[in-house]
Structure 1
């Protein structure tokens, strides 16, 4: 067998390896862009005027503070994570009063795929939210994907839009 014949199988695989992982077909998922908020001012973290009136909110007035980008096991103030959205962070929420470790694991896995800040911290958080109307909500500034079942491809498609609309995009997040 000639050297060329021995190398032929590797040469045939090379184009496939160069392509990298396949990208999902994002046209299958509706991740609409909501209208710009009337205001995105900082307000008191205890204010009921937090957000844009959507459930879950994706923009609007919010606290001056942000949440740490990690997995939270207790419900967090919407006013806080709205500020995270303004900074281009992804927020993954779940509503499972009886517990749902499989859903949380899927959201944690999606969180790991989010962009990393200049300080090396993944720019996304996971938290429970008893007010969302579905079991899962994945959010960016002015964007939401909601479902009763997490879909890894849909979450990947949402993350492909990270920073696109955020007024203060690409800001690092505290660990």
Structure 2
């Protein structure tokens, strides 16, 4: 096969199949075609007076956008439940949020969420722009969120999480903002 044709076919596969290195595949890549991460309706992104406000979120469970408190969370793994109003602010900044509801424990699955967190975009301060936390209100055992996108799971699917991360910052109101460690 001529070198030019071989190079063309290789580059076409990279575009269609997603990257062959550790970068997340492109949202339209073949590896991600089996997943859908629909956008929720647009909602206000203003601040509420208190992180305990019942006005937080967009009415979905879990909320993936909407009104939120003025503080956000550090990008790390938490072992205690965090205020939804705070991590909604993280979402607005283009951070990924990975949640779990396992009262009986699920250390192996939390480790998979933390592995996905380690693939999130890195801020200019060197911190991965994602967090992991428990959430007792989830309708399923696991959730992965970006601003206006939610992926609910009964078991953690690392491939789906990688594909979702390919959309990090795409729809966020304030994309690319750093996250404190």
Tell me the TM-score normalised to structure 2 length. Answer: 0.84
Structure 1 stretches of at least 4 aligned residues deviating more than 6 Å after TM superposition? none
Residue 163 of structure 2, aligned match among 157, 167, 175: 157
5 Å-filtered alignment, 1:83-98, equals: 83-98=89-104
Once the two structures are TM-superposed, the CA of residue 20 in structure 1 deviates from its matched residue by 3.1
Once the two structures are TM-superposed, the CA of residue 85 in structure 1 deviates from its matched residue by 0.1
Residue 112 of structure 1, aligned match among 110, 115, 118: 118
Q: Distance in 1 between matches of 2:102 and 2:114?
A: 15
Once the two structures are TM-superposed, the CA of residue 30 in structure 1 deviates from its matched residue by 1.8
Provide the residue aligned with 2:47 in structure 1: 42
Q: Distance in 1 between matches of 2:75 and 2:124?
A: 13
Provide the residue aligned with 2:6 in structure 1: none
Residue 174 of structure 1, aligned match among 151, 168, 180: 180
Once the two structures are TM-superposed, the CA of residue 25 in structure 1 deviates from its matched residue by 1.4
Determine whether 1:133 maps to 2:139: yes
5 Å-filtered alignment, 1:28-67, equals: 28-37=34-43, 39-43=44-48, 44-67=50-73
Provide the residue aligned with 2:149 in structure 1: 143
Query: Cα RMSD over matched residues?
Result: 1.7
User: How many pairs align?
Assistant: 159
Once the two structures are TM-superposed, the CA of residue 129 in structure 1 deviates from its matched residue by 0.2
Q: Quick check: which has more Rg, 1 or 2?
A: 1
Q: Distance in 2 between matches of 1:40 and 1:71?
A: 25
Residue 72 of structure 1, aligned match among 57, 72, 78: 78
Once the two structures are TM-superposed, the CA of residue 102 in structure 1 deviates from its matched residue by 1.0
Unaligned runs of 5+ in 2: 1-9
Residues 87-143 of structure 1 deviation map (CA, whole Å, 9 limit, x = unaligned): 000000000001001110000000000000010000000000000100110000000
Provide the residue aligned with 2:20 in structure 1: 20
SS in 1 for 2:138: coil
Unaligned runs of 5+ in 1: 1-14
